[in-house]
Amino acid sequence: MVLQLEHAAALEVRFAGQIEDGALEGVAVRFGVIDTYGSTFTPTAFKGLAGRSVPMLWAHDSREVIGSWTSLRSTSEGVMVAGKLNLEVQRSREVRAMLIAGDVKGLSIGFNTIKAELKSGIRTITAAELVEISLTAFPSVPGSGVTGVRTTNDDRYGAAIRLAIAAKAAARAFQ
């Protein structure tokens, strides 16, 4: 059996760049959960999130802007967010490494209270303005945190590149 690969030497493989872009997602705050300050948020507390973007800070420090949250949506469970770390910033790269390693995973919000009710020692926030969302070691609202960090640590791309190189070498052998 003779294998004929007339145009195999022209094999060209292109990849669409790395996915290491700092993308992450999570739950910024859970509704109906009492935080460490004795407060809770109602599902209607945050209005007008669609189309907004807020700064991503490290530990609520306004001098440590590490990216931005560009997708904000309120569901019955909480405020779901997606954004990107700015990997040009050293602290962002450090935070990303800690996220991937599992050292930190908390999210915590900075907000201004517009309307709240106090009942039985619990402050229920019914209207608030979201100002920022921070990555933290310890979120004040249980269940709030990062749910996904985009990485390429699974070596799928390395395997694809090795396969493409082997295919090109095999094609050259038949010339």
Per-residue pLDDT of 94-103, as tens digits, reads 999 999 999 9
**CATH architecture assigned to 19-149:** Alpha-Beta Barrel (3.20)
Task: Fill in the DSSP letter of residue 91.
Answer: H
The span from the CA of 150 to the CA of 147, in Å, is: 10
3-state secondary structure of 166: helix
94-139 confidence digits (pLDDT tens): 999 999 999 999 999 999 999 999 999 999 999 999 999 999 999 9
Computed on alpha carbons and rounded to an integer, the radius of gyration of the chain in Å comes to 23
The CB density around residue 95, as the number of other CB atoms within 10 Å, is 23
Q: Where are the domains of the chain?
A: 19-149
Q: pTM for the complete prediction?
A: 0.76
